[in-house]
Structure 1
Amino acid sequence: MTSMSGSIYKIPLKEQEASYSRDALSKALYGKLFEWLVCRINESLITKTETRSFIGVLDIFGFEHFKTNSFEQLCINFANERLQAHFNSNVFRQEQDIYMREAIAWTPIDEPDNEATIRMLSNRQGQPVGLFPLLDEQCRLPKCTHKTFVEKLFHEHKEAVHDGALAKVGRGSGLAANEGFVVRHYAGEVGYVADGFLQKNNNSLHADLELVLKCASQPFVKQVLDEAAAAEAAAAPKKKRKAEA
């Protein structure tokens, strides 16, 4: 629904457009609810005295490698990639640093390093931009497809291809060079089919849907959205006032 010069126009959506809008609304609500829940849990666990004792529970999907791998598998495998990096740091590097500081005799270990893969997937600082930020960018641009996304990915990450973190799909995959890509994960190489990546990653809400959320009649939904908006406003960098002449 669009309002122009006091007149209201209703613009019907095609079936696919309506489906995307529905999914974007669902993702937005779920995301805000998840952030709200995490915030509530963190607030309830805050203590006045500093302590090192804790109980941690981690429950995520394991590494996935199917015959056909899509956006969902990449997200799950990226989470496992970050977890593996945390494990490498705590189990290998930090322990070896302790040995060195305490002059304990030991045999150095060449610990596994997956930083190149993590950087290729998530880098937001400097160039080249990581796969996920690049995907966000492609979702905002008109007329982009999964093929243009793959082409842009390989154009940006020539170094990653050289290092082996990223590779083109093989001839036996049944895919053209711009229809997929291969990521070298810590657990092995996984080929991903890029078709559907933009649609699954596209969380942008139409202005009308944002207005619907702001006017939510459910008290709990309104509370979650209001607190999320307040948190985002508080976290946003404040603009400096221009000095008056």
Structure 2
Amino acid sequence: MCRVCVCCVWNAALPNPNPHLLYLFNPLQMTKKVLRLHWEIYYESEADCFTVEGEDLKHDFERLQLAMEMVGFLPATRKQIFSLLSAILHLGNIRYKKKTYRDDSIDICNPEVLPTVSELLEVKEEMLFEALTTRKTMTVGERLIVPYKLAEAGTVRDSMAKSLYSALFDWIVFRINHALLNNRDLEESAKIFSIGVLDIFGFEDYENNSFEQFCINFANERLQHYFNQHIFKLEQEEYRAEGISWHNIDYIDNTGCINLISKKPTALLHLLDEESNFPQASNQTLLDKFKRQHEGNGYIEFPAVMEPAFIIRHYAGKVKYGVKDFREKNTDHMRPDIVALLKSSKNAFICGLMGIDPPATFRWAVLRAFFRAMVAFREAGKRHIHRKSGHDAAAPCAVLCSVDSFSFLHHPVHQRSLEILQRCKEEKYSKTAFPTIPLSPHFHATVRGNRRGEVDQQHQTR
């Protein structure tokens, strides 16, 4: 969902403002000197529903600086982050126009912005201009340079900005997790501190819905399906298996809607990918393919009048989506020309974000390998305990001990709830396993542990 969220950052049709961090730059004279910022920023001005006093923004920026310092971001690193954000904002200020003497060629209306973006990204201005106005195509024995059309150039510019912002966001989260690592993470009893960010919009239904709302609402369908499975279906099955009397709870099963969107080979997303790869495809051909494959499906409808749109019956209600720009947004990524431009940057930070800086790539690979190895060792240890014990009685205890490592459970109320839950689990597994499993010291330890969580010598010898 990262790409979807980043797409929404620069969608002027949405009422949500852009990320608040971008608003913190303008009122700061210090930042304006360092980052070459001006008051007119296109990506900010698109969202005019966000108004905060300058003093509040200054205070928020100071708090941000302090928070970044607390998790280990040095002043030089913070400056690099803000410089890249500034480059993204300036990139959005670039405007295009058609050349008067050639209809299929474009030019930049405000070339004075290029030196600023070039300086912040540390790339050559000539290469930046070429990457934003033309695309290079390799054929047999020759290299073609084709100018972008007016709409294509804007898409390429925004794709570059979105990709940089997305890469920076992932890098910041990665660095924070790395800063919170404990030196004893390799030990089984060590606490692991990390953060996970779930940045997702709620269910959306506007007057004009497009690809962004389609992806967001699909994500909400998946979350609702997960909720249905684990709160309603599985819980009721467990009640039924244990003979507990309860009133059956009816819920809306949205499996059909999810299959419509994501189940291959006829899912809407799969058909969209196919149409995105056809050079001669259009909005109408995409809509016709939807109609042919899903005519009669109760989860999708098509307007009676000739309208380039379709309607999906979500769990929260019907939503009409216009197919305009579906294909373009589905293939919204940086072209190889833009990637090559950023790879040529003299800034090691930007090269690291692009994943081509050897030391940066090595560090990322080592840390990823560490996490994979740690998880593999822990899973192997659990399987070994399971095989050695010969039953599942240790499973709930292992899970509960793992949960107990979290600091929020050290509160007396939480600790007491955890102890009650553990006793109930021990009771349940003891009753089911006792008649069939031979008595063993491990089984005695589960049933008759003392207050210190130990088994006295008398029980071990029995």
TM-score by length of 2: 0.42
State how far apart, in whole Å, the 2-side matches of 1:220 and 1:108 are: 57
Aligned residue identity for 1:29: L
Aligned to 1:212: 341
2:147 to 9, 12, 15: 12
Q: How does 1:111-150 map onto structure 2 within 5 Å?
A: 111-124=251-264, 127-128=265-266, 130-150=267-287
Q: Give how far 1:99 is off.
A: 0.9
**SS of match in other structure, 1:182:** strand
Asked whether the equivalents of residues 177 and 195 of structure 2 are also in contact (C-alpha less than 8 Å), the reply is no
Note closer, same or farther for the CA distance 1:23–1:55 as it changes in structure 2 (3 Å cut). Answer: closer
User: Whose RCO is larger (CA < 8 A, sep 6+)?
Assistant: 1
Match of 1:84 in 2: 224
Native 8 Å contact 1:181 1:192 kept in 2? yes
Task: Flag the 1:204–1:50 CA change in 2: closer, same or farther, 3 A.
Answer: same
Q: Which has the higher helix share?
A: 2
Q: Work out the CA distance in 1 between the residues paired with 2:335 and 2:322.
A: 28
Corresponding residue of 2:245: 105
Cα separation, 1, equivalents of 2:289 and 2:143: 40
Runs (5+) with no aligned partner, structure 2: 1-135, 369-462
Indicate the SS of the match to 1:106. coil
Q: TM-score, normalised by structure 1?
A: 0.73
Residue in 2 that maps onto 1:202:
331
From the superposition, tell whether residues 56 and 205 of structure 1 become closer, same or farther in structure 2 (CA, over 3 Å): closer
Counterpart selection for 1:183 from 302, 305, 312 = 312
**Offset of residue 72 of structure 1:** 1.8
Question: Residues 140 and 3 of structure 1: is their aligned pair in 2 closer, same or farther, counting only changes over 3 Å?
Answer: closer
Q: Percent identity?
A: 39
The alignment's C-alpha RMSD in Å is 3.5
Shift of the alpha carbon at 1:50?
9.1
Larger-gyration structure (1/2): 2
Structure 1 letter corresponding to 2:292: H
Sort the Cα spacing of 1:56 and 1:22 in 2 relative to 1 into closer, same or farther, 3 A.
Answer: closer
Gaps of 5+ in 1: 235-245
Alpha-carbon distance in 1 for matches of 2:168, 2:322: 30
Matches of 1:135 and 1:80 in 2, distance apart? 20
Report SS of the residue matched to 2:203: coil
Specify the SS of the correspondent of 1:77: helix
Matched with 1:61 is 201
Q: State which of 352, 356, 359 in structure 2 corresponds to 1:223.
A: 352
Cα distance change, pair 42–188 in 1 and its aligned pair in 2 (3 A): farther
Deviation at 1:186, TM superposition (A): 0.3
Aligned length: 220
Equivalent residue of 1:210, what SS?
helix
**Deviates further, 211-220 or 61-70:** 211-220
Post-superposition offset of 1:56: 7.9
